[in-house]
Amino acid sequence: MTMPRRPKYPSQVIIRIPKDVVNVYETNIFELIFSKEEARIAQIIVEYIKKNERLYPDEYKEFITTPSDRARYFRVLRKMVSLGMLKRGKEGSYILSDEFAHKLGAMIENWRAILR
């Protein structure tokens, strides 16, 4: 039996920030980061983890049914880990993380330092 490949996490993820601040408030945060279909999957992942406390490696099969969604799922999962929305828990599971908020907070602090 061969070992599964180690996931490659992107070193950077692009976030699309709308010009109009109203759109920032009204747009689902996942749609600022992911495409519409990827945002749907990210939302499902977060809801699943909130309900079950963690997501184990094979549990995605409970809510991912098509091959195209499966590919999107793994792409979204890698991006969410890179951003700090998720982190690895025990036994290879994924759990929610607040590292993403810390990264955004650091960006805000850096910008405010420039404004001073």
Q: What is the pLDDT of residues 15-68, one digit of tens each?
A: 888 889 898 899 899 999 999 999 999 999 999 999 999 999 999 999 999 999
Q: What is the pLDDT of residues 75-106, one digit of tens each?
A: 999 999 999 999 999 999 999 999 999 999 99
Q: What is the DSSP string of 25-85?
A: HHS-HHHHHS-HHHHHHHHHHHHHHHHHS-B-TTGGGGT--SHHHHHHHHHHHHHHHHHTS
Tell me which residue of 15, 6, 7, 29 sits closest to 73, measured CA to CA.
Answer: 7
Residue ranges of domains in the chain, CATH in brackets: 21-115 (1.10.10.10)
User: Please, what's the largest Cα pairwise distance for the chain?
Assistant: 59
Contact 38, 76 (CB under 8 A): yes
d(CA 47, CA 53): 10
Contact 99, 87 (CB under 8 A): yes
| pLDDT above 80 for 4 | no
